[in-house]
Homo-oligomer: A and B are copies of this chain.
Amino acid sequence: MGYYEEIKLSKKSEQHLYVQLYDAIKNHIIQGTIKADEKLPPIRQLAEILCVNNATVVKAYELLEQEGYVYKRVGSGTFVSLKPYPLSAAIESVRLPVDEDLSLMNRGQIQIQEHMVSFASATPTPDLFPVDDFQILLNEVLNRDKGNAFGYQESQGYFPLRESLVAYMRQYGIETKSENIQVISGAQQGIDVIAKAFINPGDVVILEKPTYTGAIATFKSRGAKIIDIPIREDGLDIEALEAVIEKYRPNLIYLMPNFQNPTGYSYSREKKQRVLSLAQQYSFHIVEDDYLSDLSFYHTENTTLKSMDQQDHVIYIKSFSKIFMPGLRLGFLVLPEKAYPRILAAKHASDISTSGLIQRAFDLYLRNGIWKKHIHYMENIYKERYEIMDQVIRKYILPLGITYHPPLGGLNFWLCLNEKFSTNQLYNMAVKKNILIVPGSLFSVDQKDSNCFRLSIAAVYPEQIEPGIQALSEVIKEYIESKDNKKRNTGVYTPLL
């Protein structure tokens, strides 16, 4: 019961004491240090330990009960619930066994304070958005289309936009036609729609390990059986992949072949070809999530699978969140010919159609050719940041015994400590120094603690990068040393308990 003694409440905090206490106990429950059905201390006893009024403990316990973390048994006290909240099996697993901030970050919802350096966000900052251009186009659409811009759109997408997207795709070597385009309200919806169309509960889906959190959540929510395969610097191990395919005969495999999230790794041309051959041989669909192939700073391999897809096995997802604006909630799928009816039904059941106003404005954006100018602009911005980041990682971080494979494009850097370390802990230490990173646990299906973490350059300004990384390197040093000391201590003293 030692953890109750360690709870620190501050009377100077803006938070009420009972809320602080509620938070502390909740975190222990979520982290599993206080287990299901364990009894909480009697109210007076805990009040005494923490030097607070009984009323503070009463209110904290009430809040815990309201939120479903504990339950009362009349006459015998307060106990930890079996499940913090009886979430449906599918959603529950999205919860994190780490602290509240992290669980917010998992939903992209962390509040970033002004004084923080966020290497966590993979989303560009609002000052990079082409807002003025877009405002002009929105008005052009409204003046031209009036109420029609606010009627229901075709579920498949506004036809002229689908035509523009066909032309846009041609620039990237993908030949398709408007019938095979499905407009979606962002890449996350794309994954959700694909899951609805192709996955029944118990179906196997293969993912990369680590991979995009949102994909894990969606496939889990659909009841899929997820098999993940570790990714290497040049893509999945094809033999391992084939063995898993042979065994499980999946319907779908979900990949990010270029500048993978979170690792930044890209598949070699040969591996891309081999994945396509497997799709042909074993007859499954590949979901290619192309959130960033546009950002290849050194003209290295960034061919999309879809452009190599002779046999029509690839469902291609394109998002505009990183290159244009995340709040557009706009993206599209390029579909294999036969996938169309299923996908359309799934899209319709999801939200009927994507905003017509946004579709129409973005259509003009593509037709006017402004997007080329903008992508070029974003490339330059990100390339500058990339080069600073690469340099300072080499200067401050690598000497600490950390491994790193330069991605040569994209926005993400994947750094790994020695295997004994925990980046959940590192995250908690770094956040106290106002540095945000994303621990590897967020990107894995089982959400186990990991020795790797992700840094992104999407939301840091060039002048923030060196001081930020330097500060981070000090946190890492401190963390490594504290771990080493603990080890030494463990040898000398026998800790109580």
Q: Which residues of A pack against B, CB within 8 Å?
A: 66-68, 85, 87-91, 94-95, 107-109, 123, 125-129, 131, 134-135, 138-139, 142, 146-155, 185-186, 188-189, 192, 196-201, 214, 217-218, 221, 223, 325-329, 337-338, 341-342, 344-346, 348-358
Contact = CB atoms under 8 A, between A and B. Distances in A.
B88 A200 contact: yes
B139 A135 contact: yes
A149 B123 contact: no
Contacts of A196: 90-91, 221
B131 A341 contact: no
Nearest to A121: B152
Contacts of A88: 197-200, 342
Nearest to A346: B91
Nearest to A123: B152
Given A89-B200, A185-B185, A348 B107 contact: yes
A126 B148 CA distance: 6
A192 B326 contact: no
29 contacts: A68-B338, A85-B338, A87-B341, A87-B345, A88-B198, A88-B199, A88-B342, A91-B345, A91-B346, A91-B349, A94-B345, A94-B349, A107-B348, A108-B155, A109-B154, A129-B146, A131-B146, A131-B150, A139-B139, A149-B327, A150-B325, A188-B349, A188-B351, A192-B349, A192-B351, A200-B223, A201-B201, A201-B223, A327-B353
A155 B110 CA distance: 11
Contact of A326 (B91, B138, B152, B344): B152
Given A188-B349, A217-B349, A129 B107 contact: no
Copies in the complex: 2
Chief secondary structure at chain A's binding surface: helix
A327 B349 contact: no
Contacts of A142: 131, 135, 138
B356 A327 contact: yes
A327 B150 CA distance: 4
Given A188-B350, A217-B349, 4 more contacts: A109-B155, A131-B150, A329-B352, A355-B355
Contacts of A127: 147
Nearest to A191: B349
Contacts of A192: 349-351
B107 A128 contact: no
A404 B129 CA distance: 55
Nearest to A218: B349
A336 to B, nearest CB: 12
B352 A351 contact: no
Given A107-B155, A147-B131, A327-B149, A351 B349 contact: no
A71 to B, nearest CB: 13
A357 B138 CA distance: 11
A462 to B, nearest CB: 18
> Quick one: which of A85, A90, A199, A201 has the most chain B CB within 10 A?
A90
A176 to B, nearest CB: 15
A327 B126 contact: no
A151 to B, nearest CB: 5
A69 B299 CA distance: 44
Interface centre among A142, A192, A201, A348 (most CB of B within 10 A): A348
B325 A151 contact: yes
A386 to B, nearest CB: 22
A362 to B, nearest CB: 12
A426 to B, nearest CB: 25
A201 B68 CA distance: 24
A331 B89 CA distance: 27
Given A87-B342, A131-B147, A146-B126, A351 B348 contact: no
A232 B337 CA distance: 44
Contact of A345 (B68, B107, B126, B186): B107
Contact of A214 (B150, B197, B352): B352
Nearest to A338: B68
Of A127, A150, A217, which is in contact with the most chain B CB atoms at under 10 Å from its CB? A150
Nearest to A143: B135
Contacts of A68: 338
